[in-house]
Amino acid sequence: MKDLASAFTAANAAVFAKLGLDSKHADVRRSDRPDLGEFQANGALAVAKAAGKKPQEVAQAVAADWSATELSPAPTIAGPGFLNFKVTADALAKRAQFVANDDRAGANLVEHKRRVVVDYGGPNVAKGMHVGHLRASIIGESVKRIYRFRGDEVWGDAHFGDWGFQMGLVITALEDELGGFDDQAKLDARLKALTLEQLEAIYPAYAKRVKEGDIGVRDRARKATAALQGGSELHRTIWKAMHDVSMAAQKRDFASLGVDFDLWLGESDADPLIPEMVEDLDKKSLLEDDQGARILRVANPGETKKKKRDDGTVVEVESPDPLLVVSSEGSAMYGTTDLATIVQRMRDQKPDLILYCVDQRQADHFEQVYRAAAKAGYAQRDQLEHIGFGTMNGPDGTPFKTRAGGVLKLQDLIGQAEEKARARLKENEIGADFSADEFEDVAHKVAIAAIKFADLSNFRGTSYIFDLDRFMSFEGKTGPYLLYQAVRIKSILRKAEEAQMRAGAIAIEHDAERSLALALDAFDGALRAAYDKKAPHFLAEHAYNLAQTFSGFYSHCPILPSEGDVRASRLALAAATLKQLTLTLDLLGMDVPERM
């Protein structure tokens, strides 16, 4: 069954066609002025000139010819020719009943299903997950769920950063620590005792040395990287130990965040494809020698940007920059691995679309890779899309850090949120009769809901200020508020079941019932918008509006104290709301407790 906006659009398009008007302008949407009508159409203004009439005259003709009276009486006209519609009570009841009976709570599937890979998460080996990984993980997980729910075949891929210079740098650090790799027993013992905490200390120390100009360490790390990528058994053994330690910790972190992947692959999994790919690029005459390295130019003729030289002069250079495919040391680069990963995915998943949920600051890099893939014939340009996002900032407006200025670990952030959730639950006198395990489970779900909704309630392209105190409130536009509303409906329905009260046919009589039915109808539109724009905030907004509307309904329309058909109808509306709200929260990656 179509949502009401789609049903109105189809009916309006039929009138437009009958009057000889261009029906592509017959779109009907939810009204910005609900005091004038619940739905509105502005098409009369767009077609008036071609029709040789004033917009008011066109609107009057449409209203006079309106025949879909099961949806609405003839529309009223406002301003220069806006059509305003009020839904009939029967149409609202029919739509609400469909939502109540439908396993998908009123949401439709895509017309044409696609095969989609969503690349998100992206943690690095030898580094613990921190708040910088939060947005990619939260947004990517929600996009994956949204696309799958709409009917696409979807693979979520963690795409671990487990290959490249950082690996060579840690191998070099371990070599210095052990005084070389000649003593196999000593090396085996060290690798067996290796921990993520040790790797987290090793990597930044040596990265700092390179940044401060230690050419010796830099060159040795480059050689170690080349040896690793060249298949050295020694280097691969060390790499595997680092990889396994990191992977175990990252799987734990993702699980605590409610994030999962279908493909736990990394850059290393694409490495075997690189030699053949480089040979193929060479055969296609796409590679050029450049100071000992090999590059692939991706800019079209005449595409340039202004660049300031060290001496202050400004010159025009090609843009985007060429993709560095092979370094002067002979090793594959970051972009090379991304290009090979596209080859791998096209071979294994055969996707129609690959979505990359990565920080907006990586936009230039992905543009290079996507153009290179298109030039090489590995994928069409429109099959590759970067879902960029802004930063999660602290109170000073800069990327979130600890008070000491360091990067906050993801587990520490979750721990802080759980601690705050416990305090808020106790403040609100929730959980006094829970077992310790149930209380901890609820606190964790509240904490994750607070973190996720704070992120997903914003358009992904914008940055936002992270304020745990505000996000943990049980009032206002927060994740905990939404969980509380869903749990309250669960409680109502449990009491009804205990009293053997049953839901029945939905009838719309009270204004608060109208508002709730309209809110339930909006789910499909919010889902389509989130899908089309890869933007979960449309669903976050819907969840909040639905919860608020139910709160108003609950205040004005007593459920359990009412009787007969009225109570049965209101129980059905409550059950439909719970189903849709729970489903929406699940698409956002949030779990609803049984009680709070």
Predicted confidence (pLDDT) per residue in 383-394, tens digit: 999 999 999 988
Q: Are residues 83 and 174 in the same domain?
A: no
* pLDDT at residue 405, as a whole number: 60
Mean pLDDT for all residues in the chain: 94
* pLDDT at residue 331, as a whole number: 79
Band of the pLDDT at 402, cuts 50, 70, 90?
A: low
CB 487 within 8 A of CB 594: yes
* pLDDT at residue 481, as a whole number: 97
Number of domains in the chain: 3
Q: Are residues 425 and 568 in the same domain?
A: yes
Report in angstroms the alpha-carbon separations of 556 from 126, 515, 552, 562: 57, 11, 6, 12
* Residue 580 falls inside a structural domain: yes
Band of the pLDDT at 395, cuts 50, 70, 90?
A: confident
Q: Is 500 left (phi over 0), alpha (psi -120 to 50) or beta?
A: left
Q: Are residues 562 and 438 in the same domain?
A: yes
- Across residues 507-535, what is the average pLDDT? 98
Band of the pLDDT at 396, cuts 50, 70, 90?
A: confident
Alpha helices, H only, 383-478: 410-427, 436-456, 468-471
* Residue 292 falls inside a structural domain: no
Q: Which amino acid is at 308?
A: K
| Range scoring the smallest mean pLDDT among 12-21, 241-250, 326-335 | 326-335
| Range scoring the smallest mean pLDDT among 15-19, 398-402, 501-505 | 398-402
Token pair 């006094």 is found at 432
Distance CA 448, CA 414 (A): 7
User: What secondary structure does DSSP assign to 266-289, as a single string?
Assistant: BHHHHGGGHHHHHHHHHHTT-EEE
Choose one of 257, 272, 289: the last residue of a domain: 257
Choose one of 235, 257, 279: the last residue of a domain: 257
Q: Are residues 442 and 561 in the same domain?
A: yes
Per-residue model confidence as pLDDT tens digits over 446-502: 999 999 999 999 999 999 998 999 999 999 999 999 999 999 999 999 999 999 999
Q: Is the pLDDT of residue 310 over 80?
A: no
Q: What percent of the chain has pLDDT over 70?
A: 99
* pLDDT at residue 429, as a whole number: 93
Q: Is the pLDDT of residue 258 over 80?
A: yes
Integer Rg of the chain from CA: 29
* Residue 273 falls inside a structural domain: no
Distance, first Cα to last Cα, the chain: 35
Q: Are residues 190 and 70 in the same domain?
A: no
Q: Of 542, 147, 193, which Cα lies nearest the Cα of 352?
A: 147
SS3 assignment, position 349: coil
Length of the chain in residues, anyone? 596
| Range scoring the smallest mean pLDDT among 110-114, 119-123, 155-159, 524-528 | 119-123
Q: Are residues 559 and 436 in the same domain?
A: yes
* pLDDT at residue 316, as a whole number: 83
CB 205 within 8 A of CB 197: no
- Dihedral Cα 229, 234, 236, 237, nearest 10 deg: -170
* Residue 405 falls inside a structural domain: no
Crossing angle of the two packed helices 479-498 and 436-456, in degrees rounded to 10: 130
- Across residues 517-532, what is the average pLDDT? 98
- Across residues 356-360, what is the average pLDDT? 95
CATH code of 49's domain:
3.30.1360.70
Adjacent-strand bridge partners of 39: 30, 85
Q: Are residues 38 and 172 in the same domain?
A: no
Q: Are residues 54 and 174 in the same domain?
A: no
* pLDDT at residue 403, as a whole number: 57
Distance CA 547, CA 281 (A): 55
Q: Is the peptide bond before 73 cis (omega within 30 degrees of 0)?
A: no
* Residue 491 falls inside a structural domain: yes
User: What pTM value is reported for the model?
Assistant: 0.93
SS3 assignment, position 312: coil
* Residue 178 falls inside a structural domain: yes
SS3 assignment, position 537: helix
CB atoms within 10 A of CB 432: 8
Q: Are residues 77 and 171 in the same domain?
A: no
* Residue 374 falls inside a structural domain: no
* pLDDT at residue 229, as a whole number: 85
Per-residue model confidence as pLDDT tens digits over 52-78: 999 999 999 999 999 999 999 999 999
Report in angstroms the alpha-carbon separations of 546 from 106, 434, 517, 523: 14, 28, 10, 9
Token pair 């439709």 is found at 108
| Range scoring the smallest mean pLDDT among 328-332, 351-355, 358-362, 535-539 | 328-332
Choose one of 29, 53, 87: the last residue of a domain: 87
* Residue 389 falls inside a structural domain: no
Distance CA 340, CA 26 (A): 46
CATH code of 431's domain:
1.10.730.10
Q: Are residues 82 and 212 in the same domain?
A: no
Q: Are residues 575 and 433 in the same domain?
A: yes
Q: Are residues 422 and 520 in the same domain?
A: yes
* pLDDT at residue 404, as a whole number: 59
**Whole domain around residue 475: which residue ranges?**
410-587
